[in-house]
């Protein structure tokens, strides 16, 4: 098992902003499996295989110690995050909310929910 690594201060601030945006979007979907919490992220330092520069990979684990989300800071300054919601859409029975995602760079942040067609009785 790889030991946890603390984030540099500038990335800690950015991580808080990203998790806040994920949580705000996820809160719009009652019945979600949970909401992302910054305190529950465990980071490890990773090496970008393309340029051999350092980055950080954070993971959220559920109660069964299974991965339920991630936040990755790439060596080029970009990031990507996702957090599993797994709940029915609150107003559209045809959709199931799979996860909330965020991506961007320090100066830009985009967040959206990922949906899949729901199962219906035929």
Say what the pTM is.
Answer: 0.90
pLDDT at position 1 is: 56
Q: Tell me: the pLDDT tens digits for 49-103?
A: 888 999 999 999 999 999 999 999 999 999 999 999 989 888 888 889 999 999 9
Q: Give me the pLDDT at residue 122, please.
A: 44
Token representation of residue 11: 């990335």
75's tokens: 């060596």
Interatomic CA distance for residues 62 and 114, integer angstroms: 19
pLDDT at residue 89, rounded to an integer: 86
**pLDDT tens-digit readout, 8-55:** 999 999 999 999 999 999 999 988 878 999 999 999 999 988 889 999
- Sign of the Cα pseudo-torsion (8, 10, 11, 17, in order): positive
Q: What is the pLDDT of residue 48?
A: 85
**Residue ranges per structural domain of the chain:** 9-105
> Residue 21: which of 116, 91, 110, 104 has the closest Cα?
110
């Amino acid at each position: 098992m790889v030991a946890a690594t603390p984030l540099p201060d500038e990335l800690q601030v950015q991580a808080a902003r990203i998790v806040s945006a994920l949580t705000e979007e996820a809160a719009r979907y009652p019945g979600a499996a949970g909401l992302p919490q910054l305190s529950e992220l465990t980071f490890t330092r990773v090496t970008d295989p393309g340029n051999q520069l350092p980055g950080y990979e954070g993971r959220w684990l559920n109660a069964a110690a299974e991965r339920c989300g991630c936040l990755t800071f790439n060596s080029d300054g970009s990031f990507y995050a996702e957090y599993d919601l797994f709940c029915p859409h609150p107003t559209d029975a045809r959709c199931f909310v799979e996860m909330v995602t965020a991506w961007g760079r320090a100066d830009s942040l985009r967040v959206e929910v990922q949906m899949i067609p729901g199962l219906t009785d035929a």
